[in-house]
A = this chain, B = another copy of it.
């Protein structure tokens, strides 16, 4: 084992490169990056558009120099055109068409995902945007600077849609969100989704639910967005954020099997069905620890974990990806939403008999200044009393995101409702209560069990 080639320079690719070199600095690690932005935090793009980020270069987790100083051989602005599994080579090409053929002993594919382009007539009109990669963010930013749009429509109320509704509002646009489902943030249950909708509305966002957008027409400088139920809305720009699909063309060309949503099938060692070829990140299926099956969960946290494991195993390690529990958090205006595990719908679909509790309390002792209400929903399985998931909403900086991590950690260990009170969690009046709110919520659920 001498040559490790990694295709893709985002979370999974970089994590695998660094892990391999950390464990064996003698390995030659070559990283092929299609654009000029290796290891950029694409999760930070909404904050670039909101102008919270002072310069786009700050979005780099690591600079080109940082990566090269770790010993990684970088090919920026090179595309991997083809893989030959017999000769064990990757053919790469740069913008000028110059071709190189590189040998590998092991190969890791981290080609990520691309934005879903839904079947909406007129989706290619100027003024209609997607947001996934750095150039997408530049395009949006430049459009705002050049055209000074007053109104934006966001199609899709997932977490990127939520973050972008804040970002565009902060750029002075009047934002309207159009969502197919009956709430916002479909990864949480409707009760919480409606609370999040209230946050948007109270911050000046208009939200339309249960509308399928069907067409975007150009009318002079304006765009006319039309949908079901007679929806018709004139706007200056449109952001389409209805999720992403794995980018698997290269891998499929050499026969890598695909599964859920077309993502590469991998085992828990991140091996594909082709010997010596691994895959990780948004292009692969992800093992779900609670569902005990593969799902598609394109998240930066998961990509980092999978990349680290692929990098370790590619150079002879034997580590397994133990699975995601679906943890996510998002800040929207001055609030934070966290979720982990299964929501009620997911629990029912998976054959559990969920029982749940909604609970509200102060984030810390109310006698100490600036206490804020946090909302907690906990879901357990009626039969086994095992905790299945939790969802939370609170003000920014009320430790909501790390409180959801207490649940995420408990889920990893398959904790029951009864045992959860055994956790020795920290308390000081300015930050919690003698029973942390997460334990109070579970104790309320325990009464129903």
- The stretch from A193-201, A237-245, A405-413 touching chain B is A405-413
Q: Judge if A181 is at the interface, Cβ distance under 8 Å.
A: no
Tell whether A426 pairs with B409 under 8 Å between CB atoms, given A52-B369, A367-B47, A431-B329.
no
Expressed in whole angstroms, the Cα–Cα distance for A134 and B300 within the complex equals 50
- The stretch from A114-122, A137-145, A270-278, A320-328 touching chain B is A320-328
Structural contact, A426 and B44, CB atoms closer than 8 A: no
Closest Cβ–Cβ distance, residue A187 to chain B (whole Å): 12
Contacts of A1 in B (CB 8 A): none
Q: Judge if A65 is at the interface, Cβ distance under 8 Å.
A: no
Contacts of A447 in B (CB 8 A): 22
Cβ-defined partner of A301 (8 Å) among B22, B52, B397, B427? B427
Contacts of A329 in B (CB 8 A): 426-428, 431-432
Q: Judge if A430 is at the interface, Cβ distance under 8 Å.
A: yes
Tell whether A401 pairs with B428 under 8 Å between CB atoms, given A368-B52, A434-B11.
yes
Q: Judge if A403 is at the interface, Cβ distance under 8 Å.
A: yes
Q: Judge if A340 is at the interface, Cβ distance under 8 Å.
A: yes
Structural contact, A408 and B430, CB atoms closer than 8 A: no
Contacts of A423 in B (CB 8 A): 405, 408-409, 412
Structural contact, A53 and B430, CB atoms closer than 8 A: no
Instruction: Determine the residue in chain B with the shortest Cβ distance to A302.
Output: B424
- The stretch from A87-95, A203-211, A216-224, A330-338 touching chain B is A330-338
Tell whether A434 pairs with B300 under 8 Å between CB atoms, given A369-B52, A402-B406, A409-B409.
yes
Structural contact, A41 and B429, CB atoms closer than 8 A: yes
Contacts of A308 in B (CB 8 A): 421
Query: A419-449 CB contact bits vs B (8 Å, 1 = yes)?
Result: 1011111111111101110000000000100
Tell whether A424 pairs with B402 under 8 Å between CB atoms, given A53-B368, A431-B336.
no
Contacts of A41 in B (CB 8 A): 365, 367, 429, 434
Q: Judge if A133 is at the interface, Cβ distance under 8 Å.
A: no
Q: Judge if A180 is at the interface, Cβ distance under 8 Å.
A: no
Contacting B at CB under 8 A, from A364-418, are 365-369, 396-397, 399, 401-406, 408-413
Instruction: Determine the residue in chain B with the shortest Cβ distance to A320.
Output: B422
Closest Cβ–Cβ distance, residue A395 to chain B (whole Å): 10
Instruction: Determine the residue in chain B with the shortest Cβ distance to A447.
Output: B22
Q: Judge if A58 is at the interface, Cβ distance under 8 Å.
A: yes
Expressed in whole angstroms, the Cα–Cα distance for A61 and B366 within the complex equals 9
Q: Judge if A350 is at the interface, Cβ distance under 8 Å.
A: no
Expressed in whole angstroms, the Cα–Cα distance for A326 and B11 within the complex equals 36
Structural contact, A408 and B422, CB atoms closer than 8 A: no
Contacts of A323 in B (CB 8 A): 424
Closest Cβ–Cβ distance, residue A404 to chain B (whole Å): 5
Tell whether A412 pairs with B424 under 8 Å between CB atoms, given A53-B368, A434-B300, A447-B22.
yes
Closest Cβ–Cβ distance, residue A440 to chain B (whole Å): 11
Contacts of A226 in B (CB 8 A): none
Q: Judge if A43 is at the interface, Cβ distance under 8 Å.
A: yes
Instruction: Determine the residue in chain B with the shortest Cβ distance to A288.
Output: B424
Structural contact, A426 and B368, CB atoms closer than 8 A: no
Instruction: Determine the residue in chain B with the shortest Cβ distance to A289.
Output: B424
Expressed in whole angstroms, the Cα–Cα distance for A61 and B435 within the complex equals 11
Q: Judge if A305 is at the interface, Cβ distance under 8 Å.
A: yes
Q: Judge if A21 is at the interface, Cβ distance under 8 Å.
A: no
Tell whether A421 pairs with B365 under 8 Å between CB atoms, given A426-B401, A431-B401.
no
User: A43-B434, A405-B406, A405-B423 known; 8 other A-B pairs, CB under 8 Å?
Assistant: A22-B447, A52-B369, A301-B427, A326-B424, A327-B426, A328-B426, A329-B427, A409-B423
Write 27 A-B pairs (CB below 8 A) sorted by A numbering: A11-B434, A43-B427, A43-B428, A43-B434, A47-B430, A52-B367, A301-B434, A308-B421, A328-B426, A328-B428, A329-B426, A329-B428, A329-B432, A336-B431, A340-B426, A396-B430, A397-B397, A397-B399, A404-B426, A405-B406, A405-B426, A406-B406, A408-B423, A408-B425, A408-B426, A409-B423, A412-B424
A contacts, CB < 8 Å to B: 11, 22, 41, 43-44, 47, 52-54, 58-59, 61, 289, 299-305, 308, 322-331, 336, 338, 340, 365-369, 396-397, 399, 401-406, 408-413, 419, 421-432, 434-436, 447
